[in-house]
Structure 1
Amino acid sequence: MVLSNVADYRTAAQRFLPGFAFSYLEGGAENEITLRRNRAAFEALAFEPRVLQDVSVIDTRTMLAGRPATWPAVVGPTGLNGIFRRHADEALARAAQAAGLPFALSTASTSLLEVVRDVTDGDLWLQLYVQEDRRIAENMMARARAAKFSALLLTVDTPVLGQRDDYVRTGFTMPLRWTPRLVWDIVTHPRWLATVGIHGQPKLVNLSRSAQLGAGIEDRMGTSTHRMDQTLNWRDIAWLRAHWDGKIFIKGIQTVEDARTAFQHEVDGVVLSNHGGRQLDGARSPLDIIAQTVSYAPRSAEVLADGGILRGSDIVKAVALGARGVLLGRAPLYGLAAAGQSGARDVLALLHNELQTCLRLLGCARLTSLTADVLASHGFTACDRRR
């Protein structure tokens, strides 16, 4: 079967995965208002293309966290990827390197960060959750520094887990509770069972190693999002700096006011994010606040955004509004679940190709000359051109 876009890979992933695993990948919080709003924000923006421009050569290169990237995206941090494919984080890291992009490894990864570094020479970032026992985060940062990770994404929108109704509907818990419904769900997906399920439940090995616990995923119940440090506040940026000498981004910013506060604390950048609609239902789309956030950002700071990105044209819209780049969450996971590393690589190639096609059709040959003027509500395009 020919898979022509991210939506096709989503369909293939749904066929491959048991219902509980696909629900974990796909679902949002509560009524999924924010999940839908993330897509609606992209769909509401229209383009104003200009024609008869020289678009024979398209340049999508940019800088992310101070390092070159082939196009303006990061393969973003997603946890518990081992329920989709074996060695999932390694596969995503390799796919990101092949695409010329950074890969951000989640605190809740199912592969050791040292192992991920061993399989790729690409740019690696660490996404960090801070538990009540901050020694866990300190140990993880030290390990990431030793493995030459270049940037840190401090996630701040998860003092508790959002209410995710699909977990209840599908019986998703960790550790898995063996019910007749769950057993039926698994045995009716024999390809997943033969390639993933037969190897047992995935393990949060990174978190367990830094917490000096056993590797079983049940340890998550005591050390991860169920016991987040709810005292974490802006003053703790200084604590973070004491343990991390690379780039620091604050991920989970949902208001312009918080973005301004982050810049006042001299972080290197922010990620405008509502956690893919998985935390506070009813939150705004990150797309809605990109332009105003960028207007307050120091020249040295980078503004990234995520949530709902399924097309290359979505990336163009985010960058046109002022974002330096985007984080990709579900899209590469669809490819990973559908076809392993090759599927993740293919999804990234599709998105890059769509990005270049969109720029050509807009009459804009260089990503760096893209502005909000390509969007219908902002007048004419300001791309450099010869008249």
Structure 2
Amino acid sequence: MKISNYLWAVLATATLSLTACGSDENENVIQSKEKTAKLELTLVGTPADSRATGTLPTTDESQINRLTVAVFTEASGNPVNALREFTGEDIEAASGTGKKITMLCEPGNGQMIYVVANASTGLFAGVTNLAGFKAKLMLLSETTKAAGADDATDIQKANNLPMLGSATGKNFTAGTKTEANIALSRLVARVSISSIKTAFDPVGRFKDATFKVDAIYLKNANSSVNADKAGSVLVHGGDGSTGTKKYLYATVSGHTANTELTTPYYFYTFPNASTSEPTKLIIKGTFDADGAGVVSTPIARYYPITINKKQANTTITGGAGTDKGSIAANTRYVLTAVIKGEGAPDDNTDIDPATLQLTITVADWVLTISQNVTFE
């Protein structure tokens, strides 16, 4: 079976040049709160396009629409040295152009720099120290805003993914140019499924069975995360009913029973290391035990796939530690599934892995993992 090509996005890189401004005659009398150091930020990225339905995104996953640069001193409590949010003309032409934006900082040693892309507007306003900065939560719902400029929608978009980069131990010395390279890394993972097909045993219990895919969605998706990549609010995809998120739910229309579904479906989610509530991709559909027969009635059945969990009838390819059932940031999880038996009555019930044959490929962005599952 041919799996869709993995399309790699080029991560944005922030290059920081710190140039102090001061004359020889006043260099020794700079006050601790004077903003006399110039921070010069150069963005390197790629052009972006909007998400196209039914295709996997490419370079748009590295688009920067809003940028917050925060500098903290090494003093007790790590107070803010400088903090500024850049939008609009400050960064609109930065991708691939080497455009520079600047801000003033206080000279000093052991400075920490954090760069956040595509967080919600004004998220870090009023922050006074590093702890306060890290307490702010970036929201998964931001991925539903086209280029970060529109109201939230019911569809995730590839061009407004939250990213983070940092550097520590930087010295800002008057009259000296200091450079620091900060690579921005996506805070989300991308979970996609590129193939779903049936393979009922021709001499088994369900030899005449049929299955038609009706929907694909995420369950236990982490909806918020801080600068330490930690978060705890789990949400579920749904058709808009109470407690569900439409943007994590895709209706599949027009699928013919027992034909392979090859249109890629994908979702973005934040890291989740929970062993009791792992992130799952759910295949929902209509199962008929005797197909065209008259004995059984078509019923709704679910095939839950625990992302990145090694189990029977599951093939996972990737780096070390990629089979513990956890979701990592900046990682692509590419799934394919073969259905061989009847699914579960709801999405809370795990099923015998023999019923679903699964292949998962996890890829970078930083890591690549593949997982194949077969449901017998």
Task: Sort the TM-score into its range (normalised by shorter chain).
Answer: under 0.3
- Name whichever structure is richer in helix by fraction: 1
TM-score (norm 2): 0.27
What TM-score results when the alignment is normalised by the length of structure 1?
A: 0.27
Point out the structure with the larger strand share. 2
Greater C-alpha Rg = 2
